Structure 1
Amino acid sequence: MKNGLLLLGSILLFGSTTLLSQQSAPPPAPTPVEVMFGNNRMNFQLILNKSIDAKGKFSFFNVTNGAVDYHNKNEETEIVVVNTINYDLGNNFKASAGAQWHFKLGLVPLVGVQYFKANPTWLLLVSPNICLLPTTNMEVVSLVEFKPSLNPKTRLYTRGQLLYNQVLDGGIHARSGYTFRAGISRQKFTYGIGMNFDYYGPFKAEKLNTGVFVRISL
C-alpha cells in the first residue's frame, strides 16, 4: 500500500512538472483554508504564499497543519506551523530559511529550497528542507493540484500531498503522510471527499482518516 502511494505521488509530480512547463505565467496565489471532518478526527490546513517586497524577490510562506480527535484527547491533538522567508532564485526556485513550531518538538529552525509554480489548472510545490533541531532531519513536502474547468462556474478539484521526515543520523523514520482530495470548486469554495494516511516514529505507527472536506480560497 505504502509503495503504491509513493509511486502514485511520483507519477503526479513528474507529469505535472511537464505540463506546467508548457503553461503561461501564474496569477497571484490565493490563500486556501481547509477543514476535513473524518471518521477518526478533524484535519485543518492553511497555506499562505505572499510577496513582501516591491520587486517580488522576497516572499513569506506559511503552512499550518492541525488535527484533533472528537474527544479532545491531548495525545491526539496536533499542530505544526511552518514560517519561512523565501528568496527568488529564478526559474520558479526559491531559497528558504525560517522555523517550524511543532506541538511536541517546540521550535525547529530550518533551511531549504522550494519549487513553486501555479496556473488556473495546475499547482505544483516541492520543498525539501533540513531541520536543525532537536536532531538534524531531512524533510520533504510536495503538493500537486489538478483543477480542470468543467463549465464557466465549476472546476474539478484534485490534490495529492506528500510529507516525509527522516533523521539523517541513522536514517530513522520520524514522520510521513499522504493526503488525497477530490471534489468540486465553485467560485471561492471547494468541497468533496478526502483521505489522510499518517505514519509516526521509527515503527511507522499508522493513523488513517477518511471523510468530507470544505475549503475556501481567500
Structure 2
Amino acid sequence: MKLKQLVFIALILGSEPSVAQTTDSLQTGDVPIGGAPIPIEIFAGNKAFTFQLIVSEQFSPKSRFGFFNVTNFMGDYKKIGQTAEFFSQSILTAQVWKGISVTGGLSAIGSSNSNLITVRPTAGLQYLFAGPDFVIVVLPRLDLTQTYNFETFTVLEFKPRLSKNWGIYTRLQGLYNYNTKLDFHEVSSIYLRLGVSFKSVQFGVGSNHDFYGPNADNVNNFGVFIKTDIF
C-alpha cells in the first residue's frame, strides 16, 4: 500500500463526526452538540513521524451511548522505499456502570511492507475517567474473525494547571496485541510524553517504543511533539 493511500484511509477512518463533549484533550464537559473539539498530535522523532487522533464522545451530555476512535499513522523519512504503518479503531460504546462501557465496531491495521489493510469486527470493554487534571482510558477488545487477536489500549494523562493559561502535560500510552489463534505476541508499544500546555496546545519531548513479532523486536524513536484540538 502506497504512503498516500494509507494517509487517505487514516483520514477517512479518523474523521467520524463528534457530537458531545471534550474540552481539553479527553477532558469531558457539557458542550453543545456539534461543538466538541478533537485532539490531534504530531510527533517528529529521529527515525519516523507519527500522527495520532483520539475521539471519545457521548451522543448527548446525558446519553449512555457514544463513539470512540483512535487512529495512528507512522511513516519514516525515506524518499524511496518509505515504510508506513497505520491502525484505527472505530467503535460504539454503551455505558453500563460509572465509566464502564461495552463496545463494538471495526478495527483496521495496515503496513506498506505487506501492502495489505485488514479490517475486522471487534468487541470489548471501555473504562473512561476524565477529570480536570487526570484522564484514564482502558480499552480491552477481541477481534471477532480471522486470528482473533486480543488487544488492550491504554492512555494515562496527567495535566495539572500552573496558571490560567499554562500547565504541565504528561502522558503514558500503551498497546498490547496478541494473536490468540497462532499463540504469539504480534505488536505492542509504549509512548511517553513530557511537556507543557499553553491554553489548548501541548508541546514538549517524547519517545515511542514499538515491539514487533514473537521476539518483540524493538524500535525506539525519540523526538518532539505538538498536540492541540481541532473542530
TM over 0.5: yes
Matches within 5 A, 1:12-161: 26-27=28-29, 30-53=37-60, 55-72=62-79, 76-103=83-110, 104-161=116-173
Letter in 2 for 1:117: F
1:34 maps to amino acid: E
Contact 1:162 1:178 in 2 (8 A): yes
Q: Which amino acid aligns with 2:198?
A: R
Q: AA paired with 2:43?
A: M
Paired residues of 1:162 and 1:177 also in contact (CA < 8 A): yes
Provide the C-alpha distance between the structure 1 equivalents of 2:82 and 2:102, rounded to a whole number of angstroms: 34
SS at match of 1:149: coil
State the AA in 1 paired with 2:213: G
Q: Tell me the residue number matched to 2:21.
A: none
**Aligned-pair CA distance for 1:53:** 4.8
Other-structure match for 2:179:
167
TM-score (norm 2): 0.79
Which residue, 210, 219, 223 being the options, matches 1:207? 219
Inter-partner Cα distance in structure 2 for 1:217 and 1:145: 15
Shift of 1:98: 0.4
Unaligned ranges ≥5, structure 1: 1-24
Q: Which amino acid aligns with 1:89?
A: V
Number of matched pairs: 194
One-letter amino acid of the structure 2 residue matched with residue 109 of structure 1: P
The one-letter amino acid of 1:50's match is E
SS of equivalent residue, structure 2 residue 124:
strand
In 1, are the aligned partners of 2:124 and 2:140 still within 8 Å (CA)?
yes
Deviation at 1:170, TM superposition (A): 5.2
How far does residue 169 in structure 1 lie from its aligned partner after superposition?
3.4
TM-score, structure 1 normalization: 0.83
Moved over 4 A (4+): 72-75
Which residue does 1:12 correspond to in 2?
Answer: none
Paired with 2:59 and 2:146, the residues of 1 have a C-alpha distance of: 30
Tell me how far 1:72 sits from its aligned partner: 4.8
Counterparts in 2 of 1:118 and 1:38: CA distance versus 1, 3 Å: same
